[in-house]
Amino acid sequence: MPREWPPPDTKRAPSVVTYPVAVSEAPEFEAVRTAAQRAAAAAPGVRAAGGAAVDAALRTAADLLREKAPELLAANGADVEAGEASGMAAGLLDRLRLTPERLADMATQLEVLADTPEPPTERYVRDLPTGERVFERSIPVGVIGAVFEARPNVTVDVASQVLKARSAAVLRTGAAALGSATALVENVIAPALTAHGIPADAVQLVPGSDHESVKHLMRLRGLVDVLIPRGGAGLIRAVVEESTVPVIETGVGNCHVYVDKDADLDMAVEIALNSKAQRVSVCNSAETLLVHLDVADRFLPKALAALTAAGVTIHGDDTVRAVDPTALAATEEDWAAEYLALDLAVKVVPSLDAATEHIRRYGSGHTEAIVTRSLAASRRFIAGCDSAAIMVNASTRFTDGERFGMGAEIGISTQKLHARGPMGLAELTSTKYLVVGDGQIRETS
């Protein structure tokens, strides 16, 4: 796209620009553009349907998840089999797999979301000095695009959150889960929408499985209102840097657990173990354990033994390897890694400030935990970390939309604008101001 800088129209008086932005008509965007156009055409129908119809559709979808479990598990089984055949890593296979229990969890989350009351849609802001009343009203965003990894449950999570927020969705799942996602849309979401008078086109799955479709989706500025990438760090960064559609950055989780010199060391072992090993394939699991020097010789033997017993591979600095000679030597890459596997980088630090400095340098702004009995240490740690969530004496695994009371989350924002941490209904909604007067004009500049 060659372009003069600044574009020629800035030099004109009057300046002229056409809104809304023209959507690219490049033929290679056609399949994705068609999906987005269907979603855009359905969006007013979602908005008009009203909250009660959307909630009813979510409950019907929950029922269908249970009723259609055999079909859904069959479609997912084929995806898993193909994944295994292609040598997919264990963590990724875990994300891909549906089980009756996971379907039941998904159904429960839909019901929780349906039961979640809508936040107030209008708030009074103030009266202007000239007498007009100002209100702020929530409005649907319109068309929300999401690009996510091969996790079938995310198809339902994202679609349900978008619908609850009265928008339409264009979903692009990881290729390995396309069969599962298609089964979920066709057997669960579309019929649930139709049953309650909402256009089934409101949830679109981008067809095909090549990576080009992501590039096309992120160029549909003017048709897609916001794009939420989830999944691999490289994918997220590429979308964030290249998309012309506004993006909410989510979910790369290089999370840390810091064990302070004033920690309850038994608690610290439990929190480290839970943060790392309770579930490895999720962004809120810990990837690095930082240990204050003063407690290293009491904490490390116990902690490393427990972690190793849980199957965790340790990547340690020299102090750590002196305690556990079987630990691998940690490199710069380990401090920066989101393993998504039973690997943990472990480092001994001389002070709390050294820990927060390490986190600022290598962290991804997701979740950091401190274990300490000292109020002053907790305050200093909170002030030193600007991540989306800071845990004091709790596992990093608690950064989670369902735990935070939002129903299933659409993602965990790690950026500083618009939303931070788990994103649910409120974070998927926009606003407009209303100014209601009786003829006011402005007298002064």
CA torsion through residues 374, 282, 228, 61, sign: negative
Binding mask 372-401 for a copy of itself (x = CB under 8 A): ------x---x--xxxxxxxxxxx-xxx--
List the end-to-end C-alpha distance of the chain, in Å, as a whole number.
Answer: 41
Among 139, 293, 309, 426, binds a copy of itself (CB under 8 A): 139
* Nearer CB in complex with a copy of itself: 76/395: 395
Peptide bond between residue 27 and the one before it cis (omega within 30 degrees of 0):
no
59-79: b (≥16 Cβ within 10 Å) or e: bbbbebbeebbeebbebbeeb
Helix intervals (H) in 116-149: none
Minimum CB separation of residue 58 from a copy of itself in Å reads 21
Among 2, 6, 70, 117, binds a copy of itself (CB under 8 A): 6
Minimum CB separation of residue 312 from a copy of itself in Å reads 13
Minimum CB separation of residue 275 from a copy of itself in Å reads 8
With beta carbons less than 8 A apart as the criterion, state whether 344 and 306 touch.
no
Backbone φ and ψ for 136, nearest 5 degrees, come out as -120, 125
* Nearer CB in complex with a copy of itself: 25/333: 333
Rg of the chain on CA atoms, in Å: 24
Applying the rule CB under 8 A, the residues between 77 and 116 that interact with a copy of itself are: 89, 91-92, 105
Applying the rule CB under 8 A, the residues between 230 and 269 that interact with a copy of itself are: 231-235, 237-238, 240-241, 244, 246, 248-249, 252, 254, 264, 267
367 membership: H or E segment, kind and range? strand 367-371
* Nearer CB in complex with a copy of itself: 194/440: 440
Among 31, 328, 341, 354, binds a copy of itself (CB under 8 A): 341
Is residue 421 a contact point for a copy of itself (CB under 8 A)? yes
CA torsion through residues 354, 356, 360, 363, sign: positive
Parallel, antiparallel, or unpaired for β 255-259 and 286-292? Answer: parallel
Which has the closest alpha carbon to 392: 254, 298, 253, 257? 257
- Label residue 35 left, alpha or beta by phi (over 0 means left) and psi (-120 to 50 means alpha): alpha
Minimum CB separation of residue 179 from a copy of itself in Å reads 21
* Nearer CB in complex with a copy of itself: 74/139: 139
Residue 245 DSSP symbol: S
Minimum CB separation of residue 60 from a copy of itself in Å reads 25
Among 27, 86, 325, 445, binds a copy of itself (CB under 8 A): 445
Pick the piece of the chain touching a copy of itself (CB under 8 A) from 54-62, 154-162, 291-299, 332-340: 332-340
Minimum CB separation of residue 438 from a copy of itself in Å reads 5
Among 340, 377, 408, 425, binds a copy of itself (CB under 8 A): 340
Parallel, antiparallel, or unpaired for β 203-205 and 226-229? Answer: unpaired
Minimum CB separation of residue 194 from a copy of itself in Å reads 25
Among 2, 25, 325, 442, binds a copy of itself (CB under 8 A): 442
- d(C-alpha 163, C-alpha 425), whole Å: 9
Applying the rule CB under 8 A, the residues between 209 and 228 that interact with a copy of itself are: 211-212, 214-215, 221, 225-226
Among 78, 100, 137, 326, binds a copy of itself (CB under 8 A): 137
What three-state secondary structure class fits 43?
Answer: helix
Applying the rule CB under 8 A, the residues between 7 and 36 that interact with a copy of itself are: 7-10, 13-21
Backbone φ and ψ for 367, nearest 5 degrees, come out as -145, 135
* Nearer CB in complex with a copy of itself: 105/324: 105
- d(C-alpha 133, C-alpha 438), whole Å: 10
* Nearer CB in complex with a copy of itself: 27/101: 101
123-146: b (≥16 Cβ within 10 Å) or e: eeeeeeeeeeeeeeebebbbbbbb
Applying the rule CB under 8 A, the residues between 149 and 178 that interact with a copy of itself are: none
Q: Give the length of the chain.
A: 445
Applying the rule CB under 8 A, the residues between 290 and 309 that interact with a copy of itself are: none
Other CB atoms closer than 10 Å to residue 27's CB: what's the count? 7
Minimum CB separation of residue 384 from a copy of itself in Å reads 10
Among 78, 305, 309, 435, binds a copy of itself (CB under 8 A): 435
Residue 413 DSSP symbol: E
Question: Site for a copy of itself (CB under 8 A): how many residues?
Answer: 115
Minimum CB separation of residue 150 from a copy of itself in Å reads 12
- d(C-alpha 59, C-alpha 3), whole Å: 50
